[in-house]
């Protein structure tokens, strides 16, 4: 005779990546829960497609789980943790958001003060379709326990030890290059168009830097729709660099670049993004 069902996992909130996390756990036989109150129709559709169990309120969801995974915009990470801790949740809380190590530690303090266990997390890669495309980095005393729940799932887990903040630091270092270099290419193309030398620049790149033209166009099409989320992430990176005494202007500038692309937030398909229009949007300051 089987024993009681294992407590489930809660995902806050199933955007594209959160839904992928939930689906990866559901495939392994985990019961994955989410809170639908205040969420968009698109979020509801993603959660349903991933097979997640709906709850109308946070308290109801937390009563059914022993682990919560937070996957939300970076500027909502601390608020989300406070909402969970206010209920007295005593389980394991994984913050998988793109935040600075110091922010991760503050989130951890909120969770631990309420009696919970905290794990610092970071996701590198997009929503995976096959194992190996995307890594979930974890750090903290319970990191290995969380990693075990993803065994043989589409997410490859990497445990970085017990140091809370290590996973977030890895994400900062990684994204500072991928998103930061993308922002630099966008502003270079915008500058060239503003000065009427874009065609000449592309001709020179074709001779001396043959990959940059495609990379800049790909950065425009791929990043514009997600730029609204990158703003807070780049500012978190800047805070992380500054905390180490390093120049933070690179990421501050990237945040301001992505800030100008907020109008692309509701564009659903990358094919609907015109790269030249993105460069022109950056040149509009109002």
User: What mean pLDDT is predicted for residues 75-87?
Assistant: 97
Specify burial of residue 191 (Cβ count, 10 A radius: 0-12, 13-18, 19+): middle
pLDDT greater than 60 at residue 214: yes
The whole-model pTM stands at 0.93
pLDDT greater than 90 at residue 7: no
Taken in order of first residue, the domains within the chain and their CATH numbers are: 8-162 (3.40.50.720), 169-283 (1.10.1040.10)
3-class secondary-structure state, position 25? helix
Gyration radius of the chain over CA positions? 20
pLDDT, position 266: 82
Residue 27 CA to residue 149 CA, distance in Å, equals 11
Tens-digit pLDDT profile for residues 220-264: 999 999 999 999 999 999 999 999 999 999 999 999 999 999 999
pLDDT greater than 50 at residue 176: yes
pLDDT band at 270 (very low <50, low <70, confident <90, very high): confident
Interhelix angle 166-194/212-224, nearest 10 degrees? 110
Residue 190 CA to residue 210 CA, distance in Å, equals 19
Interhelix angle 212-224/275-283, nearest 10 degrees? 80
pLDDT greater than 60 at residue 189: yes
- Cβ proximity of 101 and 172 under 8 Å: yes
Residue 124 CA to residue 28 CA, distance in Å, equals 21
């Amino acid at each position: 005779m089987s024993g009681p069902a294992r407590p489930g996992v809660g995902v806050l909130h199933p955007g594209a990546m959160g839904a992928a996390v939930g689906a990866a756990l559901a495939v392994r036989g985990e019961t994955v829960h989410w809170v639908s109150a205040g969420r968009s129709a698109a979020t509801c559709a993603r959660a349903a497609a991933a097979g997640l169990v709906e709850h109308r309120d946070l308290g109801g969801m937390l009563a059914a789980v022993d682990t919560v995974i937070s996957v939300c915009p970076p500027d909502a990470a601390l608020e989300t943790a406070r909402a969970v801790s206010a209920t007295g949740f005593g389980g394991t809380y994984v913050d998988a958001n793109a935040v600075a190590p110091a922010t991760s530690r503050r989130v951890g303090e909120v969770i631990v003060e309420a009696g919970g266990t905290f794990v610092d997390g970071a996701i590198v890669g997009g929503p995976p379709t096959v194992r190996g495309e995307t890594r979930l980095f974890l750090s903290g005393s319970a990191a290995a326990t969380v990693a075990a729940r993803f065994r043989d799932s589409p997410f490859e887990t990497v445990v970085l030890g017990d140091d809370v903040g290590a996973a977030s630091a890895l994400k900062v270092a990684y994204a500072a290059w991928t998103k930061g270099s993308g922002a630099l290419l966008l502003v270079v193309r915008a500058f060239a168009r503003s000065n009427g030398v874009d065609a000449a620049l592309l001709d020179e790149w074709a001779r001396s830097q043959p990959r940059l033209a495609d990379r800049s166009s790909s950065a425009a099409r791929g990043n514009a729709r997600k730029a609204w989320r990158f703003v807070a992430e780049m500012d978190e990176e800047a805070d992380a660099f500054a905390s180490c005494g390093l120049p933070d202007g690179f990421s501050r500038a990237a945040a301001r670049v992505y800030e100008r692309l907020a109008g692309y937030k509701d564009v659903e398909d990358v094919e609907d993004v015109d790269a030249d229009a993105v460069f022109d949007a950056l040149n509009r300051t109002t």
